């Protein structure tokens, strides 16, 4: 679109804040999701990418985001474009992906953030605390990769159902809040015999539907509480509604779905929740098989990396010196090394990490300078974590298309032309 079709402030705003990408969705806002009926919700949850996702406007609850940096798959599934990822570790809120299993609650829940209430159960002294009280109980800041367990599903040849995310259902975010440890200590400790930490989201559930069939409630192993925080701030600003504000459970190293948004209840339990999203959803089950308790739940993330630049979407690359750069992370462990290949994995060269090391749960930016003559290349990268775990060549096939960290699936063809 020509800039002359926009107001001056809009021009300046877009020009000043954004990569210069044409976008058909600038300024357009779709109808909100509030008040959706049951079937509409089911539809919204099921909807996935169309042939031209870029044509879809941003839903109103994220109208403040950078439309030029995002691919809207559906109202609740919005992916960051590969070309939008910068080289500065942090993913700005305006560019961060969104994956909502249910429509976001009404914005009124963050009109008075400090009044938000969290119910804590399964501790020696159960209590309901206001955010204002939590803010006085402790403060910790952690940088962590937030990634949807389905990130990379779009790279499965089997095309599992669900959003066909490529690499953009992930970001690296700085979170601030109170450590769950501090909260538990103040309440006398975890009650005896508890095995899981269970978080419940504050989404408004539709009438006339079994809550368990749709509620966002997840259980993780008790040990996860050691590094978990209840966060009210993201990247230095109050946690946006779209990302779980006013309060979100952050479990560093665990897949996105476990990081409960607008958390209203934190319970320590002897069993995993009976909610469908835990019982059957987000399970690593064999292709064609519905998930159940016998299949591993999507919890800890694995070692992974991908190249952000150059990429086919940015067009032909002029021959000569080129910087290959991307991101790498280890999930539960620090990433230690990244290798890059320009011949589809036949040979590898060690890449260099750049920028600050923000801790073992953050990703690192890597770069490798190469000289490329005109021709076609298959570029790939492969990360190794501090435990020696190497990003595998092959994906682990599963019905849901989860946890794809195959370096081969993430390889890309680029075309280098005479400069």
What are the backbone dihedrals phi and psi of residue 404, each rounded to the nearest 5 degrees, phi first? Answer: -75, 110
Q: What's the rounded Cα separation, in Å, for the pair 230 and 263?
A: 9
Q: Is 35 in the site for a copy of itself (CB under 8 A)?
A: no
Of the two residues 48 and 176, which places its CB atom closer to a copy of itself in the complex?
Answer: 176
Query: CB under 8 A: which stretch of 41-49, 92-100, 161-169, 333-341 binds a copy of itself?
Result: 92-100
Task: Looking at residues 367 to 396 of the shown chain, list those that interact with a copy of itself (rule: CB under 8 A).
Answer: 367, 369
Of the two residues 60 and 119, which places its CB atom closer to a copy of itself in the complex?
Answer: 60
Of the two residues 64 and 161, which places its CB atom closer to a copy of itself in the complex?
Answer: 64
Count of residues of this chain found to bind a copy of itself when the rule CB under 8 A is applied: 74
Beta-strand (E) ranges in 258-396?
Answer: 263-269, 304-309, 317-318, 320-329, 335-341, 349-350, 352-354, 364-372, 375-385
Q: Tell me which of 3, 226, 274, 292 binds a copy of itself, using CB under 8 A.
A: 3
CB atoms within 10 A of CB 16: 7
Of the two residues 175 and 282, which places its CB atom closer to a copy of itself in the complex?
Answer: 175
Rounded to the nearest whole angstrom, what is the least distance from the CB of residue 236 to a copy of itself in the complex? Answer: 4
Query: CB under 8 A: which stretch of 6-14, 149-157, 190-198, 216-224 binds a copy of itself?
Result: 6-14
Distances (CA, A) of 167 to 79, 306, 308, 399: 8, 8, 9, 19
Query: CB under 8 A: which stretch of 61-69, 150-158, 248-256, 298-306 binds a copy of itself?
Result: 61-69
Q: Is 415 in the site for a copy of itself (CB under 8 A)?
A: no
Of the two residues 115 and 396, which places its CB atom closer to a copy of itself in the complex?
Answer: 115
Q: Which residues pair with 3 in a beta bridge?
A: none
Rounded to the nearest whole angstrom, what is the least distance from the CB of residue 258 to a copy of itself in the complex? Answer: 21
> If DSSP codes are grouped into helix, strand and coil, which group holds residue 15?
helix
Task: Looking at residues 104 to 163 of the shown chain, list those that interact with a copy of itself (rule: CB under 8 A).
Answer: 107-108, 110-113, 135-143
> If DSSP codes are grouped into helix, strand and coil, which group holds residue 132?
helix
Question: For residue 278, what is the enclosing H or E element?
Answer: helix 276-279
Rounded to the nearest whole angstrom, what is the least distance from the CB of residue 246 to a copy of itself in the complex? Answer: 10
Of the two residues 209 and 358, which places its CB atom closer to a copy of itself in the complex?
Answer: 358
DSSP for 144-165? EEEE-TTTTGGG-TT--SS---
Task: Looking at residues 255 to 314 of the shown chain, list those that interact with a copy of itself (rule: CB under 8 A).
Answer: none
DSSP for 74-119? ETTEEEE-GGG--SSS---GGG--EE-SSPPPPGGGGTTGGG-EEE
Question: Per the structure block, which two tokens stand in for 24?
Answer: 């058909």
Task: Looking at residues 218 to 237 of the shown chain, list those that interact with a copy of itself (rule: CB under 8 A).
Answer: 233-237
> If DSSP codes are grouped into helix, strand and coil, which group holds residue 44?
helix
Q: Is 67 in the site for a copy of itself (CB under 8 A)?
A: no
Rounded to the nearest whole angstrom, what is the least distance from the CB of residue 40 to a copy of itself in the complex? Answer: 19
Task: Looking at residues 327 to 366 of the shown chain, list those that interact with a copy of itself (rule: CB under 8 A).
Answer: 354-359, 362, 365
Query: CB under 8 A: which stretch of 91-99, 204-212, 247-255, 391-399 binds a copy of itself?
Result: 91-99
Q: What's the rounded Cα separation, in Å, for the pair 214 and 267?
A: 19
Handedness of CA 105, 132, 231, 219 (dihedral sign): negative
Task: Looking at residues 236 to 255 of the shown chain, list those that interact with a copy of itself (rule: CB under 8 A).
Answer: 236-238, 240-242, 245
Q: Tell me which of 46, 55, 323, 418 binds a copy of itself, using CB under 8 A.
A: 323
Rounded to the nearest whole angstrom, what is the least distance from the CB of residue 120 to a copy of itself in the complex? Answer: 18
Handedness of CA 30, 33, 35, 38 (dihedral sign): positive
Task: Looking at residues 162 to 201 of the shown chain, list those that interact with a copy of itself (rule: CB under 8 A).
Answer: 174-176
How do strand 117-121 and strand 263-269 relate by DSSP bridges? Answer: parallel
């Amino acid at each position: 679109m020509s800039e002359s079709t926009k107001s001056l402030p809009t021009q300046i705003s877009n020009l000043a804040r954004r990569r210069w990408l044409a976008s058909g969705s600038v300024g357009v806002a779709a109808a909100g999701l509030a008040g959706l009926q049951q079937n509409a919700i089911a539809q919204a949850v099921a909807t996935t990418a169309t042939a031209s996702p870029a044509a879809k406007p941003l839903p109103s609850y994220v109208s403040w985001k950078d439309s030029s940096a995002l691919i809207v798959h559906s109202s609740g599934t919005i992916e960051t474009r590969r070309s939008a990822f910068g080289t500065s570790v942090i993913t700005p809120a305006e560019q961060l992906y969104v994956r909502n299993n249910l429509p976001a609650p009404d914005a009124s829940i963050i009109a008075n953030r400090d009044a938000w209430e969290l119910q804590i159960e399964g501790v020696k002294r159960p209590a309901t605390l206001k955010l204002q009280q939590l803010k006085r109980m402790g403060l910790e800041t952690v940088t962590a990769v937030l990634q949807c367990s389905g990130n990379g599903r779009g790279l499965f040849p089997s095309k599992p159902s669900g959003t066909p995310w490529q690499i953009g259902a992930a970001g690296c975010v700085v979170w601030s809040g109170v450590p769950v440890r501090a909260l538990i200590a103040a309440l006398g400790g975890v009650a005896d015999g508890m095995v899981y930490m269970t978080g419940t989201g504050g989404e408004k559930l539709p009438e006339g539907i079994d809550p368990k069939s749709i509620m966002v409630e997840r259980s993780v192993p008790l040990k996860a509480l050691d590094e978990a925080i209840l966060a009210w701030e993201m990247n230095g600003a109050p946690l946006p509604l779209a990302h779980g504000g006013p309060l979100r459970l952050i479990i560093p190293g665990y897949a996105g779905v476990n990081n409960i948004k607008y958390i209203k209840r934190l319970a320590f339990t002897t069993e995993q929740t009976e909610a469908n999203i835990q019982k059957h959803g987000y399970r690593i089950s064999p292709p064609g098989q519905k998930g159940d308790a016998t299949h591993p739940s999507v919890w800890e993330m694995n070692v992974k990396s991908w190249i952000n630049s150059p990429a086919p979407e940015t067009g032909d690359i002029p021959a000569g010196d080129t910087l290959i750069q991307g991101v790498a992370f280890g999930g539960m462990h620090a990433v230690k090394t990244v290798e890059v290949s320009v011949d589809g994995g036949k040979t590898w060269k060690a890449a260099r990490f750049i920028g600050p090391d923000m801790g073992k749960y953050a990703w690192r930016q890597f770069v490798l300078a190469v000289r490329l003559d005109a021709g076609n290349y298959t570029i790939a990268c492969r990360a190794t974590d501090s435990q020696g775990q190497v990003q595998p060549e092959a994906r682990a096939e599963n019905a849901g298309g989860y946890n794809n960290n195959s370096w081969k699936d993430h390889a890309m063809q680029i075309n280098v032309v005479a400069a």
